[in-house]
């Protein structure tokens, strides 16, 4: 059958959390896999950004892993699946026998689907450990923590469609949708702006979002260009201004919230002038932004990794929640606190329980009732103590952790202090990696299991606004690769026997079991998801799902939204004589996280073939840096060499780089100190030095 005659497969873009629908067409040769727009796709109606349009370029890339590999005497050799499975099962059994189950760590990934992550976390728990985590830890663990604690659900409160229709003000703090969520920005946000909505951007870096709405060139929109790590004082100025002017929603506070007095106490002696100085933003600008937000009919907060990736990440997001609750901007269309998620299944990976402290549906592992209800379906006991998070696992690698099972993750580039991670992986007794390419992490593996790509398999993913959508696959390009689900099922069958809970026919079969143990997904079936998908929570079959949350009450114990005043906590590293600059990091539109796929996509790679650093003209002059010079950036953890881009986009005293490039990843420099509660690392502020190479 020629490609003209074939029926394209409707699926979801594998990159960011917007969840755009695309079609994939396969020609007579299985390797001829092409992108086709999907005009009626529910989220994007056929529109596509550069990453989505280039997504099929990696499917038949020459670097694809095509056969299992086993390392012998430091070199990989091809192996049969029988040999590879045998080695994995033998090593997992040996490690458990010699050290106990908590000597293994399991990493799921938001690059893989709900069914695959569900099965991996079940494998970890059947093995006897809660040491299972996923990359959400790195991006929004603090956001999820704060939202769950104070509102009920660790997810966007609203959906993109209601935000576009009803929001008058978009308060975007620490997020850059113009770069990282291009279709949300160009379709939903732009439409709202065309109809009169105002954008208030809070970010140390002027970026594509700033330019896409000409924020710096209008009186209507505002860009508050703050110092990295001063989000709490900035929001406290906003809150105090709201209180001083009586712009609070008294009725909402009285009937639907708790803790307002704590906020009043926290702000009683708060000095707005001193705080504005600390933020590096004129006080009157912050007061004007406060007025715009508080006086809007409906104001929506969007929050990104500029907020979450701090040691005070939970408190950063709590302060956004404080603002929304104090002004009554929750529980109706066009409002809320909305984390923009970075990967196509970053919401779902946590929803299905690939986390050390919760089971599917965010049910705590140490809640006896919840755990027992899951155990009843699974037929085995689950450990009742939360396990280690992924950064804790890599800190422990070689000590209490002896082995790692990694599905689709690349911690050697994604975790902070990347050189330390690489060293630690060498101390492990056994590492197995399932992936599509020889990643920087796979180089350290003992066994590599070649997986199929996003375009070759089916399942479900959950995009940033809680919409669960189906992905569908074309035929395999390489015969000897396997779907992640097949691999985890087979490892489970070999470890625990045919009746051990890993005997599934296909992704739908797994999804049916997932529904049983995940109340927020219970009402969904593959048929009900159809082509439109459904927003969770969806408790009963026939439910249409909830595009926005908390219309009548919050999902907290009291049913009230929780307000809690917070105070400024500076980053753990601040500039000093040795490292006089603040380094911050962020991603580019054309690349995807650790670049495993996007660096192999010619269309994307050609846009940005190497890393660079943004530096302010005054700093450039001070350090003798000319635009285009190669410079060495160093921190207490390592150094990289990159090209300098001299620009007023960045504040004086701050430098900005990216984590995408193996030859010079920003994560060599970042600090692996964690937020105590959410265990997210402080990627967004580290002390650094720069010199011309
Ligand atoms: Fe893919 Fe995100 Fe671009 Fe949509 S906006 S095409 S989901 S990368």
Q: Tell me the per-residue pLDDT of 596-629, one tens digit each, with 9 for 90 and over.
A: 999 999 999 999 999 999 999 999 999 999 999 9
Query: 132 and 365 in contact (C-beta within 8 Å)?
Result: no
At 6, the pLDDT band (50, 70, 90 cuts) reads low
Q: Cα of 319 to ligand 1 centre, how many Å?
A: 29
For residue 269, give both structure tokens: 């002696």
At 5, the pLDDT band (50, 70, 90 cuts) reads low
CA-50 nearest atom, ligand 1? 3
CA-19 nearest atom, ligand 1? 7
Q: Cα of 14 to ligand 1 centre, how many Å?
A: 8
List of domains in the chain: 9-58 (2.20.25.90), 91-137+344-416+467-523 (3.40.50.740), 141-340 (3.40.228.10), 581-692 (2.40.40.20)
Percent of the chain with pLDDT over 70: 99
Q: Cα of 246 to ligand 1 centre, how many Å?
A: 41
Pocket test for ligand 1, best of 12, 14, 15, 464 (most atoms within 8 A of CB): 15
Ligand 1: which residue has its CA nearest to atom 6?
Answer: 52
For residue 218, what pLDDT is reported?
A: 87
At 306, the pLDDT band (50, 70, 90 cuts) reads very high
Pocket test for ligand 1, best of 23, 37, 181 (most atoms within 8 A of CB): 181
For residue 342, what pLDDT is reported?
A: 87
DSSP assignment of 116-130: HHHHHHHHHHHHT--
Average pLDDT over residues 3-17: 84
Q: Cα of 660 to ligand 1 centre, how many Å?
A: 17
Ligand 1: which residue has its CA nearest to atom 3?
Answer: 49
Q: How far apart are CA 525 and CA 515, in angstroms?
A: 8
Which tens digit of pLDDT belongs to each residue from 185-244?
999 999 999 999 999 999 999 999 999 999 988 899 999 999 999 999 999 999 999 999
Q: What is the 3 state secondary structure string of 213-259? A: CCHHHCCCCEEECCCCCCHHHHHHHHHHHHHHCCCCCHHHHHHHEEC
Q: Cα of 439 to ligand 1 centre, how many Å?
A: 23
User: Within 13 Å and on the Cβ side, how many CA atoms surround 348?
Assistant: 33
Q: Cα of 662 to ligand 1 centre, how many Å?
A: 23
For residue 7, what pLDDT is reported?
A: 86
Q: Roughly what angle, to the nearest 10 degrees, separates helices 507-517 and 114-127?
A: 70
Query: 27 and 477 in contact (C-beta within 8 Å)?
Result: no
Mean of pLDDT over the chain: 96
Which tens digit of pLDDT belongs to each residue from 417-463?
999 999 999 999 999 999 999 999 999 999 999 999 999 999 999 99
Q: Cα of 50 to ligand 1 centre, how many Å?
A: 8
At 3, the pLDDT band (50, 70, 90 cuts) reads very low
pLDDT over threshold 50, residue 662:
yes
Q: Cα of 115 to ligand 1 centre, how many Å?
A: 21
**CA angle in degrees (0–180, nearest 5) for 459-462-464:** 155
Q: How far apart are CA 434 and CA 407, in angstroms?
A: 5
pLDDT over threshold 70, residue 92:
yes
CA-592 nearest atom, ligand 1? 8
Percent of the chain with pLDDT over 90: 96
ipTM over 0.90: yes
Q: Cα of 473 to ligand 1 centre, how many Å?
A: 18
CA-18 nearest atom, ligand 1? 7
User: Pocket residues for ligand 1 (CB within 6 Å)?
Assistant: 13, 15-16, 18-20, 44, 48-49, 51-52, 181-183
Ligand 1: which residue has its CA nearest to atom 1?
Answer: 52
């Amino acid at each position: 059958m020629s490609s003209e005659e074939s029926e394209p497969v409707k699926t979801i873009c594998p990159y960011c959390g917007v969840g755009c629908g695309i079609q994939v067409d396969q020609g007579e040769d299985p390797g001829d896999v092409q992108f086709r727009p999907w005009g009626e796709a529910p989220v994007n109606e056929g529109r596509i950004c550069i990453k989505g349009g280039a997504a099929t370029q990696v499917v038949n890339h020459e670097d694809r892993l095509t056969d299992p590999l086993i390392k012998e005497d430091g070199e990989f050799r091809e192996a049969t699946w029988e040999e590879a499975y045998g080695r994995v099962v033998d090593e997992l059994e040996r490690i458990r026998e010699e050290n106990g189950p908590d000597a293994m760590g399991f990493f799921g990934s938001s690059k893989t689907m709900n069914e695959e992550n569900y099965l991996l976390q079940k494998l970890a728990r059947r093995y006897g450990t809660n040491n299972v985590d996923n990359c959400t830890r790195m991006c929004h663990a603090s956001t999820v923590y704060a939202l769950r604690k104070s509102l009920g659900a660790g997810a966007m409160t609203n959906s993109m469609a209601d935000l576009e229709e009803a929001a008058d003000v978009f308060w975007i703090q620490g997020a850059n949708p113009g770069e990282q969520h291009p279709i949300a920005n160009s379709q939903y946000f732009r439409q709202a702006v065309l109809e009169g909505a105002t954008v208030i951007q809070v970010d140390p870096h002027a970026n594509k979002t700033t330019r896409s709405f000409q924020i710096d060139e209008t009186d209507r929109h505002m860009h508050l260009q703050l110092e990295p790590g001063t989000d709490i004082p900035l929001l406290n100025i906003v809150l105090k201004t709201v209180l001083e002017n009586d712009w609070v929603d008294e009725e909402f506070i009285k009937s639907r919230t708790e803790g307002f007095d704590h906020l009043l106490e926290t702000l009683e002696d708060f000095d707005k002038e001193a705080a504005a100085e600390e933020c590096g933003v004129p006080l009157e600008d912050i007061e004007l932004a406060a007025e715009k937000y508080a006086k809007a009919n409906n104001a929506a907060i969007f929050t990104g990794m500029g907020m979450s990736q701090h040691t005070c990440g939970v408190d950063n997001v709590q302060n956004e929640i404080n603002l929304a609750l104090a002004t009554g901007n929750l529980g109706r269309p066009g409002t809320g606190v909305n984390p923009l998620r970075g990967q196509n299944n970053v919401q779902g990976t946590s929803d299905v329980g690939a986390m050390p402290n919760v089971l599917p549906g965010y049910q705590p592992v140490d809640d006896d009732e919840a755990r027992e209800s899951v155990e009843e379906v699974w037929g085995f006991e689950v450990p009742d103590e939360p396990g280690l998070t992924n950064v804790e696992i890599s800190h422990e690698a070689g000590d209490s952790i002896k082995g790692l099972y990694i599905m689709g993750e690349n911690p050697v580039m994604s975790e902070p202090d990347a050189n330390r991670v690489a060293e630690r992986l060498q101390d492990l007794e056994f590492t197995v990696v399932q992936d599509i390419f020889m990643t920087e992490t796979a180089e350290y593996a003992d066994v590599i299991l070649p997986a199929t790509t996003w375009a070759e398999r089916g399942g479900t993913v959950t995009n940033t606004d809680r919409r669960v959508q189906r992905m569908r696959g074309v035929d395999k390009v390489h015969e000897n690769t396997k779907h992640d689900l097949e691999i985890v099922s087979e490892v489970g069958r070999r470890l625990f026997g045919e009746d051990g809970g890993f005997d599934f026919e296909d992704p739908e079969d797994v999804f049916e079991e997932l529904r049983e143990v995940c109340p927020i997904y219970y009402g969904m079936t593959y048929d009900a998801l159809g082509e439109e998908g459904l927003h969770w929570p969806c408790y009963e079959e026939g439910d249409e799902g909830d595009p926005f949350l908390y219309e009548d009450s919050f999902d907290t114990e009291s049913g009230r939204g929780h307000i809690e005043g917070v105070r400024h906590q500076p980053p753990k590293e601040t500039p000093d004589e040795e490292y006089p600059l603040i380094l911050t990091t962020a991603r580019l539109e054309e690349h995807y996280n650790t670049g495993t796929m996007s660096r192999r996509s010619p269309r994307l790679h050609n846009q940005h073939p190497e890393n660079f650093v943004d530096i302010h003209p005054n700093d450039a002059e001070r350090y003798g840096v000319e635009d285009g010079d190669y410079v060495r950036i160093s921190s207490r953890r390592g150094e990289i060499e990159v090209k300098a881009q001299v620009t007023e986009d960045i504040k004086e005293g701050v430098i900005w780089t990216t984590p995408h490039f193996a030859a010079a990843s920003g994560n060599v420099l970042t600090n692996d100190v964690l937020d105590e509660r959410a265990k997210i690392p402080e990627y967004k502020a580290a002390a650094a030095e720069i010199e011309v190479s």
